[in-house]
């Protein structure tokens, strides 16, 4: 009887933790702006993801855009590992990176993020509606630390 109760409590706690984790991930706000409209004109910005020895990087690592501008990010993974491009504030990306360390299976399918396997290309259309400094980063564990981040200044 005692054992049964403990099992039930464990299951309930586990379920609650999983629900909380899912909610935390889905409740993302897009501080960097909003998903773009692919039918509207957009300035194309090419971003390459690759490794260089022990380093991992984005090229370019700095982009300037104007408030209200829509950008079509054309992402190319020229590396030999999977990489991702996650657009958010620095704080949001740090929190998200911590979350991903605990949930390594997690893959992004959000409008502000794209994961690419080696030698593939992808796109994100994004409208920058707020001034400020935002970040694009690869949140795969170890990649940010290896240098995989860049900044976007919205003026």
Work out how close the CB of 49 gets to Cu ion at its nearest, in angstroms, rounded to a whole number. 6
Work out how close the CB of 151 gets to Cu ion at its nearest, in angstroms, rounded to a whole number. 17
Q: Please report the beta strands in 13-66, taking only residues with DSSP state E, as ranges in sequence order.
A: 34-35, 43-52, 55-59, 62-65
Q: Please report the beta strands in 78-145, taking only residues with DSSP state E, as ranges in sequence order.
A: 83-88, 113-116, 121-127, 132-137
| Beta bridge mates, 152 | 63, 134
Note whether 75 binds Cu ion by CB under 5 A: no
Is 73:47 a contact under the CB 8 Å cutoff? yes
Cα angle 106, 121, 119 (rounded to 5 degrees) comes to 85
Work out how close the CB of 61 gets to Cu ion at its nearest, in angstroms, rounded to a whole number. 13
- Pick between residue 70 and residue 134 the one whose CB is nearest to Cu ion: 134
Stretch that binds Cu ion, among 10-18, 39-47, 112-120, 145-153 (CB under 5 A): 145-153
- Pick between residue 116 and residue 154 the one whose CB is nearest to Cu ion: 116
- Pick between residue 21 and residue 146 the one whose CB is nearest to Cu ion: 146
Stretch that binds Cu ion, among 5-13, 83-91, 105-113, 121-129 (CB under 5 A): 83-91
φ and ψ at 45, to 5 degrees? -125, 120
Choice from 50, 96, 114, 143 touching Cu ion (CB under 5 A): 143
Work out how close the CB of 12 gets to Cu ion at its nearest, in angstroms, rounded to a whole number. 36
Q: Residue 128 is encoded by which pair of tokens?
A: 């920058």
Choice from 50, 77, 83, 137 touching Cu ion (CB under 5 A): 83
Chain position carrying tokens 């993302």: 28
Is 97:144 a contact under the CB 8 Å cutoff? yes
What residues make contact with Cu ion under the rule CB under 5 A?
A: 83, 138, 140, 143, 148
């Amino acid at each position: 009887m005692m054992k049964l109760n403990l099992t039930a409590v464990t299951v309930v706690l586990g379920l609650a933790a999983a629900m909380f984790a899912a909610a935390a991930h889905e409740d993302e706000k897009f501080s960097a702006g909003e998903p773009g409209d692919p039918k509207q004109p957009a300035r194309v910005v090419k971003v390459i993801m690759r490794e260089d020895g022990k380093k991992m990087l984005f090229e370019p690592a700095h982009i300037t855009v104007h408030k209200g501008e829509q950008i079509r990010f054309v992402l190319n993974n020229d590396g030999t590992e999977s990489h991702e491009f996650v657009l958010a504030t620095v704080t949001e990306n740090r929190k998200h990176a911590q979350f991903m360390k605990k949930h390594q299976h997690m893959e992004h399918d959000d409008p502000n993020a794209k994961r690419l396997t080696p030698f593939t290309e992808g796109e994100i259309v994004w409208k920058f509606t707020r001034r400020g400094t935002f970040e694009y980063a690869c949140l795969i564990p170890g990649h940010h630390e290896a240098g995989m981040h860049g900044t976007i200044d919205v003026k």
